[in-house]
Amino acid sequence: MSMNRYGVIAQRHWARWLPSQYAAISDPESFFTTLGEEVARQIEDLTDELADETGQSESYLARVGQLLAARAIAEELILPQRVLPEAELAADDAQEDVRPERGERPVVVDRSHPSWAEVNAEQQERASGPEPG
């Protein structure tokens, strides 16, 4: 049996972002094939549940839209839990966690920000490219 798309996504994510957990898996092919199948079932079940809550549409296209929206919501809820867990900290980052907290937005540096001049100068320098030597 081949791995579904959720299994493939999970395997790539875990190999890159969860290397110690990935290394502990004795048979990655089997593990991620099973995980992908379980996730697909969970997404299908939640999609059906969400679609039933919205009721039946009068038109075919409206119903298709409801089903697609229900599937997107189901994936958005389930994938972070099962397929895309948060990355491990690298050994050199152990002293300082530089990842943003869940739901935290990155700092936007606009003209009113104290670092605007510095960031703007760096961007201008990158845009102009290296000086001819």
pLDDT at 118: 67
pLDDT at 132: 55
**Nearest Cα residue to 39 out of 87, 71, 1:** 71
What global pTM score does this model have? 0.63
pLDDT at 53: 82
pLDDT at 94: 46
Give me the residues of the chain with pLDDT under 50, please: 91-97
The token pair that represents 45 in the structure block: 């079940």
pLDDT at 104: 55
Please work out, in degrees rounded to the nearest 5, the angle formed at the alpha carbon of residue 122 by the alpha carbons of 119 and 127. Answer: 125
* Alpha-helix runs per DSSP H in 1-133: 5-17, 19-23, 28-54, 60-82, 116-128
Straight-line distance from the first to the last Cα atom of the chain, in angstroms, rounded to the nearest whole number: 59
pLDDT at 39: 96
pLDDT at 62: 87
How far, in whole angstroms, is CA 1 from its chain's centroid? 26
pLDDT at 123: 61
